[in-house]
Homo-oligomer: A and B are copies of this chain.
């Protein structure tokens, strides 16, 4: 639980993100120690709920910056909306299709024994296992 403002500022500084108002506010919503999978709309609603005044464009800007800086992981599990994942450690996902919701699967709950040889000149950026249920 990194709840205090000092920790949030520190987190942003460590990632070379200037700790501005809405960045601190959104970081405070997201990085409370609990793993989350949020959409842009989720964040807008969370911000409204806590009287944080911001704009749609700023939420997009901020989530995209956080993802680019490695504070969030973007998860593409369906064509429409993007999910942003606060859990940065290696893990996999259940996707509840009817609820349009992700849930983490610990990395050691799935044992991948062998990986295929890669095309020439390529390196693995990620190995994502999605179990649709």
Report how far A74 CA is from B123 CA in the complex, Å.
26
Interface size class of A (residues with CB under 8 A): 35 or more
A130 at the interface (CB under 8 A from B): yes
The smallest beta-carbon distance between A36 and chain B, in angstroms, is 18
A112–B113 contact, CB under 8 A? yes
The smallest beta-carbon distance between A73 and chain B, in angstroms, is 12
A94-B118, A111-B113 known; 10 new pairs, CB 8 Å cut-off, are A76-B77, A76-B79, A79-B82, A96-B122, A110-B112, A110-B113, A110-B116, A112-B129, A115-B131, A127-B132
21 contacts between A and B (CB under 8 A): A76-B76, A76-B79, A79-B79, A79-B82, A94-B116, A109-B114, A110-B112, A110-B113, A112-B112, A113-B113, A116-B131, A118-B133, A119-B133, A124-B132, A125-B133, A126-B131, A127-B129, A127-B131, A127-B132, A128-B130, A128-B132
